[in-house]
Amino acid sequence: MDIFTHTWSLLVEVQFYVIVPFIFFIGFALFPTHLQIPYYFVLGMIAYLHTESQNSSENTYQKLENDEKEDYSMPKETNETNKNPLLILIFLIASFVPIEIPSEILRPGITVMTGILMVSHRKSILESRILTYFEEAAKLNRKWTTQDVSLLNVATCEYDNDYGNWWGYCKHRGINATTGKYRIMTIGNSYAASHGNLFYQECGHLAIKLSQVTFPACEPLHTIPRKSCVYSVARYEKYVRDEKPDYLFIISRFGLIGNEINTTNIEDDSIFIEMKTQIKKISDSVKYKIFVMNQIARPKGEMVHKMAEVVKEHKNLTEFDIANIDKYPKFARLRYEKMVSGCPKCELFDYNSQFFNETTGTWRFYDERNSGLSYINQQLHLTPHGLELIRPVIRGLCRRIEKGIK
Ligand SMILES: *[C@@H]1O[C@H](CO)[C@@H](O)[C@H](O)[C@H]1NC(C)=O
Ligand SMILES: *[C@@H]1O[C@H](CO)[C@@H](O)[C@H](O)[C@H]1NC(C)=O
Ligand SMILES: *[C@@H]1O[C@H](CO)[C@@H](O)[C@H](O)[C@H]1NC(C)=O
Ligand SMILES: *[C@@H]1O[C@H](CO)[C@@H](O)[C@H](O)[C@H]1NC(C)=O
Ligand SMILES: *[C@@H]1O[C@H](CO)[C@@H](O)[C@H](O)[C@H]1NC(C)=O
Ligand SMILES: *[C@@H]1O[C@H](CO)[C@@H](O)[C@H](O)[C@H]1NC(C)=O
């Protein structure tokens, strides 16, 4: 059998094709024929034992799954590993005492063995990491959508509604008022709820009190014309006035704030006027600083289930990215930037370098290098993978608060 061809097709999948030609080249050039197979065997064993020595046999995806359960305990060790001494022995014999099997026996043999494998439900072989890369990503992308509500529920939150829901006012439990220094608050639509655990993890130790206010689909700076949002702009403001935070974060995905600006002067735009009035009121109740999330593109939620597939099938991702955008953030960014420039306590922070791919010039909401794992779910909330992507931004802001930035 031609080891090189078989190895090659696997390597292209897992992106190791830079190293492998050298491994084979060294094998051919330096070793006499009878030592070549043992050479490959030893390299294989080193790789295998190295993988086993990593703490758990779990791959990235399983770690992510543990995260999403809002469970901060260590991933459990599984039982599947370290019971392959028999397998190692077989490979050892085959490597050092090579017996050539005639192809009349080998071919039907392989066919029968493959059949046995397929019906035997041996998870460890057929569902190996390499074979299931894309399947796993697609599965997680679906799962993060079905688990939307539990992902928005913040483990440490004590909510003020009686329904056991993730919206309204929340005061985080487990905040140490002895060691903490600041009153820190986040407000915004469900995007703020999506950030809840992250804030607890990154800013929690700095807080005397950490709170969060979320009204689903209602923005704090502009009234969305729907029944549930009619009073929410005023309510957000009232919560901030009662809380008197030292630091406030406004984290809200744009709705109508992204609409085209019709007036020649942005100062005359009705949406901008409301934002400006509102930020002024809010600003009066904040002691030091307001960090305002700038806007990124709005993707189409229904495309999430295609992400792993287009990456797997090497589709033209630039085209996919373009088809994936529901609304570009140009006008939302103009309004936010103008508003912040007129608000001395305000400062923008941005996820554009996380979600805008400079190479292709497109907004991209999945991780090409991780089999198309999605950063957002169908409800456009950040997935655990997306939260890890933006964590450094929030961590950076919390560090600055820690230094007492005014
Ligand atoms: C392995 O686990 C130990 C203790 O559980 C930990 O200290 C170490 O950092 C882990 N190593 C890796 C590579 O995860
Ligand atoms: C591992 O397997 C042993 C025996 O099959 C069992 O007693 C034990 O509970 C298992 N441990 C875990 C962590 O599943
Ligand atoms: C808060 O921190 C102090 C000092 O580290 C510690 O003594 C106290 O037990 C902590 N309180 C809580 C509720 O964790
Ligand atoms: C801009 O004009 C269009 C059509 O004239 C209108 O539908 C839209 O509501 C206007 N947008 C704003 C923000 O006024
Ligand atoms: C992908 O599509 C874009 C836009 O249609 C095009 O400019 C680019 O050349 C395509 N890339 C490939 C590799 O086909
Ligand atoms: C940007 O897109 C290119 C082409 O698809 C890809 O190779 C690269 O990894 C992407 N960059 C990031 C940061 O994802």
Residue partners of 141: CB distance under 8 A and separation at least 6: 304, 305, 307, 308, 372, 373, 374, 377, 383
Lowest mean per-residue pLDDT among 108-117, 189-198, 287-296: 108-117
What confidence tens digit (pLDDT) does each residue in 386-399 have? 999 999 999 999 99
CA of 178 to the centre of ligand 3 (A): 6
Could you tell which of 224, 259, 268, 275 is best to mutate to test the pocket of ligand 4, judged by most ligand atoms within 8 Å of the CB? Answer: 259
What confidence tens digit (pLDDT) does each residue in 70-96 have? 333 333 344 444 456 777 787 777 777
CA of 76 to the centre of ligand 2 (A): 12
Distance (Å, whole) CA 74 – CA 87: 30
* pLDDT (0 to 100) of residue 25: 87
Q: Does the Cβ of 319 fall within 6 Å of ligand 5?
A: yes
Alpha carbon distances (Å) from 348 to 71, 279, 335, 355, 386: 31, 13, 12, 16, 20
What number of other Cβ atoms are within 10 A of residue 355's Cβ? Answer: 20
> Is residue 280 predicted with pLDDT exceeding 60?
yes
CA of 323 to the centre of ligand 5 (A): 13
> Is residue 207 predicted with pLDDT exceeding 80?
yes
Distance (Å, whole) CA 122 – CA 117: 7
Chain-wide mean pLDDT for the chain?
A: 86
CA of 295 to the centre of ligand 6 (A): 21
Provide the 8-state DSSP code for 378. T
What number of other Cβ atoms are within 10 A of residue 25's Cβ? Answer: 10
CA of 320 to the centre of ligand 6 (A): 13
CA of 176 to the centre of ligand 3 (A): 6
Percent of the chain past pLDDT 70, that is, above it, reads 84
Between 80 and 260, name the one with better pLDDT.
260
> Is residue 143 predicted with pLDDT exceeding 70?
yes
Minimum-distance ligand to the CA of 362? Answer: 6
> Is residue 194 predicted with pLDDT exceeding 80?
yes
Q: Does the Cβ of 5 fall within 6 Å of ligand 3?
A: no
Q: Does the Cβ of 271 fall within 6 Å of ligand 4?
A: yes
Provide the 8-state DSSP code for 204. G
Lowest mean per-residue pLDDT among 61-65, 123-127, 131-135, 180-184: 61-65
Q: Does the Cβ of 318 fall within 6 Å of ligand 5?
A: yes
* pLDDT (0 to 100) of residue 80: 44
* pLDDT (0 to 100) of residue 364: 98
Read off the pLDDT of each residue in 155-181 and give the average, rounded to a whole number. Answer: 90
* pLDDT (0 to 100) of residue 192: 97
Nearest-CA residue for atom 14 of ligand 1:
55
> Is residue 65 predicted with pLDDT exceeding 60?
no
Residue 389, helix vs strand vs coil: helix
Q: Does the Cβ of 176 fall within 6 Å of ligand 3?
A: yes
Read off the pLDDT of each residue in 302-324 and give the average, rounded to a whole number. Answer: 95
Residue 39, helix vs strand vs coil: helix
Minimum-distance ligand to the CA of 369? Answer: 6
The widest CA-to-CA distance across the chain, in whole angstroms, is 85
Give the pair of three-digit tokens for residue 232: 């929410």
* pLDDT (0 to 100) of residue 190: 95
Alpha carbon distances (Å) from 124 to 58, 88, 309, 312, 333: 12, 15, 23, 22, 49
Distance (Å, whole) CA 231 – CA 326: 27
Could you tell which of 156, 173, 178 is best to mutate to test the pocket of ligand 3, judged by most ligand atoms within 8 Å of the CB? Answer: 178
Fold of 146-402: Rossmann fold (3.40.50)
Percent of the chain past pLDDT 90, that is, above it, reads 62
Distance (Å, whole) CA 36 – CA 92: 13
Relative to beta strand 207-214, strand 168-172 is antiparallel
Read off the pLDDT of each residue in 220-228 and give the average, rounded to a whole number. Answer: 93
* pLDDT (0 to 100) of residue 238: 97
Domain with CATH 3.40.50.1110 in the chain: 146-402
Provide the 8-state DSSP code for 205. G
* pLDDT (0 to 100) of residue 3: 63
> Is residue 26 predicted with pLDDT exceeding 90?
no
Return phi, psi of residue 28, to 5°: -70, -40
Q: Backbone dihedral region of 371: left (phi > 0), alpha (psi from -120 to 50 degrees) or beta?
A: left
Residue 386, helix vs strand vs coil: helix
Minimum-distance ligand to the CA of 263? Answer: 4
Read off the pLDDT of each residue in 29-44 and give the average, rounded to a whole number. Answer: 84
- The answer to whether the CB of 385 falls within 8 A of the CB of 367 is yes
